Amino acid sequence: MSLTMRLAKNVVMSKVNYLKENPEKNMPELLEWARKLDVAGKFSSAFEALEPIAKDPNNNWNIMVRNLLKETSPACMTKLVSNLAFNSEISSMSVREKAAKKYGCNIPWAILMDPTAACNLHCTGCWAAEYQKTANMDYDLLDRIINEGKKLGIYMYIYSGGEPLVRKADLLKLAKKHSDCFFLSFSNATLVDEEFAKASAELGNLVLAISVEGFEKETDMRRGQGTYKKVIEAMDLLKAHGVPFGFSTCYHRYNTEVVGSDEYIDFMVSKGARFGWYFTYIPLGKDAQLDLLATPEQRTYMYRRVREIRETKPIFVLDFWNDGEYVKGCIAGGSSYLHINAAGDVEPCAFIHYSNMNIHDHSLIETLQQPIFKEYQSNQPFNENHLRPCPLLDNPEKLRMMVQRSGAHSTQLLDEEDVVTLTAKTEDISKQWAPQAEKLWQERNEKLKADQEKAAQKAAQRAEERRAAKGKKAKGSAQKEVSEAEGDTK
């Protein structure tokens, strides 16, 4: 990291500590301080957007920041800023860009990997259920992937599975060794205990996205009797130790309205969740349950609800499919992330089980250059409408074409589902979603245009006010100088 970056990181850390002392008073002050640094007014619209947040203690984001500052352990707070914001985002971006140019392939921001396919639960419709249950990546292999990733500028590592906490000793060891990285683990949380919560609070760079499917009825329906109770206990334990966590929820035909409701979100906030990650059900494998697929009306409902939640609730939620507009569509194939399953197959995405290479036989950079990743690179975005981002769910003909052209093989070791069989299951739903997505996209573009015009007007007005204030100040000091000069003459 360059000296300038190190200095910037130290300054930001000191400001976070200042903010902690009295968030209500210091938040607007800090915003003004940052605004003054932006002499050229490059970020004026961002400051306009942040102003109501900083000044209004009842604003949902203001409440969220205060909750985070009040309830997060010192180590977790430090690592959120230094590892998540700086190391994984700001200071490593140029390294990734250089590597992408040098190797002619996508270099992702994050790597999602499965330490194990083993799981202590048996959830209905889980994609991980399709992997060979004996598959595992040992500590040395995970460590090797992280070491190779850091050389390419990747500092964000996400675990899925299987249940990653089956290997919690290794996860803690990796977080300790790579104390400059940030780790997020999807987890059913049933293996969280006092010792794990304490260690996470001390390390600060390992947080959980806890899988929950709604309230007790919905969660236990998919995850098994008694799971919900254990999840709630884990949340209480993490909150007590100041470890931030989020929820991860799959919405499907039978729970969408419940998990999108105010009651559900309010409950998650009250338990201490700081972020929430929504997924939708994807029909992978021979045992896929097509009746679980969310209807186009339910997907539209979630599109609107996620935006409402972001405007009103003190939690950051995102929707893996309906937020494509913020990331130019699909983020797989190394453009922002990739997936390595427990057998070591390097796949474009956790939901796309096709690959040409295995990490046991290849370096990370070789796997990023494999044919299926190149297909992703040259075909993204898969649709101009980013509300239809997915080559499987929304544009199945694209996935068929890429898998066939690249010669990638199925990585579902149990049932080796070929791409024609898989995409046949999403043909109908993709056609049903298309007209709905077009309507929403048009609506979104009109709103965006109106918002941009409003922000530009506001920024111009503010610049004018600043110019006037500056002129007034200059006039005042000139008058003062004249009066002083007159006094001297007398």
CA dist list (Å): 386 to 280, 288, 297, 445: 16, 26, 18, 11
Contact criterion met (CB below 8 Å) for 127 and 282: yes
Nearer to ligand SF4, 105 or 171 (CB): 105
Q: Quick one: tokens of 132? A: 């060979």
Shortest reach from residue 153's CB to ligand SF4, in Å = 20
Q: Which of 111, 123, 189, 332 binds ligand SF4 (CB under 6 A)?
A: 332
Select 41 or 381, whichever has its Cβ closest to ligand SF4. 381
Structure tokens at 58: 């009842």
Give the nearest distance from C-beta 303 to ligand SF4 in angstroms.
15
Q: Residues 297-326: x/- map of binding to ligand SF4 (CB under 6 A)?
A: -----------------------x------
Q: Name which of 271 and 339 has its Cβ closer to ligand SF4.
A: 339
Q: How far is the CB of 166 from ligand SF4 (least distance, A)?
A: 25
Q: Which is nearer to ligand SF4, 170 or 375 (CB)?
A: 375
Nearer to ligand SF4, 343 or 390 (CB): 390
Number of residues that bind ligand SF4 (CB under 6 A): 11
Contact positions with ligand SF4 (CB under 6 A) in 346-405 = 349, 351-352, 389-392
State in angstroms the smallest separation of the CB of 338 from ligand SF4. 10
Q: What is the DSSP letter of 153?
A: T
Identity of the residue, 67 or 379, whose beta carbon is nearer to ligand SF4 in the bound complex: 379
Q: Could you check whether the bond before residue 381 is cis, i.e. omega within 30 degrees of 0?
A: yes
Would you say 227 or 367 has its CB closer to ligand SF4? 367
Sheet strands side by side (includes 273-280): 316-319, 273-280, 245-251, 206-211, 182-187, 156-159, 110-113, 337-340, 346-347
Using DSSP bridges, classify how beta strands 354-355 and 273-280 pair: parallel, antiparallel or unpaired.
unpaired
> 18, 69 in Cβ contact below 8 A?
no
Answer yes or no whether residue 330 interacts with ligand SF4 by CB under 6 A. yes
Query: Cβ 316 to ligand SF4, closest distance in Å?
Result: 19
Both tokens of residue 290? Answer: 């097509």
DSSP 83: I
What does the DSSP 8-state code read for residue 294?
Answer: P
Q: How far is 52 from 68, CA to CA, in rounded Å? A: 18
Alpha helices in 152-193 (DSSP H): 168-177
CA distance linking residue 53 with residue 65, whole number of Å: 10
Q: 88 or 426, CB closer to ligand SF4?
A: 426
Q: Is 331 in the site for ligand SF4 (CB under 6 A)?
A: yes
CB under 6 A: which stretch of 19-27, 264-272, 328-336, 406-414 binds ligand SF4? 328-336
CB of 408 to ligand SF4, least distance (A): 13
**DSSP conformational letter for 78:** H
**Paired sense of beta strands 337-340 and 346-347, if any:** antiparallel
Which residues form the interface with ligand SF4 (CB under 6 A)? Answer: 320, 330-332, 349, 351-352, 389-392
